[in-house]
């Protein structure tokens, strides 16, 4: 058994691979890295550098033509516009391979006996088999799910997508596949405007706040308790924050921290390993996003160190009197 350690994968190219003038908040990775280093006095995060993802792993999910055209810089202007990381740079190819590599490396840590590992990027849930969209080129969640399912001990993977945008690419990729259960809690009126069908979708109206959101999440986790999963992929986007420029919900930093705790408590209770995928976050100011992700990764690190006392200072939020809006799962 390896010693417990929280590996968080990061490379400078997560920020530097994109054009600084892009509408996407390019600096968020750099800023988050800086902030985590500042607050992690106990050195509970072990920083790790990702290798490039292997093309064979990407082909577990993606269409060969699409992959080749992307790698060769041959995507059309229309395809690039749909992805949206413009102005386009050649370095997007290496960035994409490296951040997909970060997710795969975190997965590998799980197979080496770690309980939690994370990648400080990705969660690229809008990517379909043969096209990208919404800042996503390859679907790292789907690639890691296929990779995990090659292991003899893995029969069922749970993808819990708590980004404010629906995990439409992931839902579509696994719509006929019972080995992967896709759950998405998202804003009803956010991108993508034509939603796909996950195994379980819970949509929220604009301005949904902490209590209603956390109540729904608790119910979802309660239902999932009776299903047998071998592994959890947590897409932990923080774009449900009230100050996010692209989300329409009204969650607080404290509410999101509580959300992370609920997921991690549940995961510990189920004795299930977890890979943390970062997901979206576009707050104005971007420091709000950085703070919310700092809470996420510090929480994960503390879990590994079994030092959860520091996070008990979040006030308990009453979950009793809020109506549940989710639909039943379609397993």
Name the residues that contact Zn ion, by CB under 5 A. 163, 165, 237, 239, 280
Token couple for 311: 């996070």
Contact predicate 90/258, CB 8 Å? no
- Give 193 or 331: the residue with its C-beta nearer to Zn ion: 193
Residue of closest CB approach to Zn ion: 280
200-204 β-sheet, strand order = 45-48, 6-9, 116-119, 274-277, 231-235, 157-161, 180-187, 200-204
Min separation Cβ 58 and Zn ion, Å: 22
- Give 67 or 236: the residue with its C-beta nearer to Zn ion: 236
Min separation Cβ 129 and Zn ion, Å: 20
Name beta bridge partners: 160: 183, 234
78 three-state secondary structure: helix
Min separation Cβ 292 and Zn ion, Å: 13
Min separation Cβ 151 and Zn ion, Å: 29
- Give 50 or 237: the residue with its C-beta nearer to Zn ion: 237
Contact predicate 14/313, CB 8 Å? no
H or E segment to which residue 140 belongs: helix 140-149
Tokens 């390896």 belong to 2
**36 alpha-carbon distance from chain centroid:** 18
Min separation Cβ 294 and Zn ion, Å: 18
- Give 11 or 239: the residue with its C-beta nearer to Zn ion: 239
Min separation Cβ 4 and Zn ion, Å: 30
Name the phi and psi angles at 274, rounded to 5: -140, 135
Rounded-to-5 percentages of helix, strand, coil across the chain: 40, 15, 50
- Give 239 or 288: the residue with its C-beta nearer to Zn ion: 239
- Give 40 or 239: the residue with its C-beta nearer to Zn ion: 239
Min separation Cβ 41 and Zn ion, Å: 31
Name the phi and psi angles at 201, rounded to 5: -115, 135
The verdict on whether omega for the bond into residue 285 sits within 30 degrees of 0, i.e. cis, is yes
């Amino acid at each position: 058994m390896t010693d417990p350690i929280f590996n968080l994968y990061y490379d400078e190219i997560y920020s530097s691979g994109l054009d600084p003038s892009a509408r996407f908040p390019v600096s968020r990775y750099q800023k988050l890295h800086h902030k985590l280093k500042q607050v992690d006095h106990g050195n509970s995060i072990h920083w790790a550098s990702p290798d490039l993802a292997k093309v064979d792993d990407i082909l577990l999910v993606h269409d060969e033509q699409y992959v080749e055209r992307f790698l060769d810089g041959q995507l059309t202007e229309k395809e690039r516009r749909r992805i949206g990381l413009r102005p386009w740079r050649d370095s997007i190819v290496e960035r994409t391979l490296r951040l997909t590599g970060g997710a795969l490396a975190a997965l590998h840590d799980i197979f080496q006996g770690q309980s939690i590992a994370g990648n400080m990027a990705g969660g690229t849930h809008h990517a379909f088999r043969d096209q990208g969209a919404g800042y996503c080129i390859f679907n790292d969640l789907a690639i890691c799910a296929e990779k995990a399912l090659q292991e003899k001990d893995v029969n069922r993977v749970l993808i819990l997508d708590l980004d404010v945008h629906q995990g439409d690419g992931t839902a579509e990729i696994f719509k006929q596949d019972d080995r992967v259960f896709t759950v998405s809690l998202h804003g009803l009126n956010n991108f993508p405007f034509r939603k796909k069908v996950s195994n379980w979708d819970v949509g929220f109206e604009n301005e949904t706040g902490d209590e209603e959101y956390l109540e729904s999440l608790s119910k979802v986790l309660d239902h999932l308790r009776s299903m047998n999963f071998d592994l959890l992929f947590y897409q932990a986007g923080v774009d449900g924050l009230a100050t996010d420029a692209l989300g329409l919900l009204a969650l607080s930093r404290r509410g999101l921290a509580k959300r992370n705790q609920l997921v991690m408590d549940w995961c510990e209770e189920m004795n299930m390993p977890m890979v943390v995928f970062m997901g979206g976050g576009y707050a104005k100011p971007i420091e709000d996003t950085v703070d919310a992700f700092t809470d996420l990764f510090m929480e994960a690190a503390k879990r590994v160190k079994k030092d959860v006392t520091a996070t008990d200072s979040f006030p308990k939020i009453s979950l009793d009197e809020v109506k549940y809006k989710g639909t039943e799962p379609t397993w």
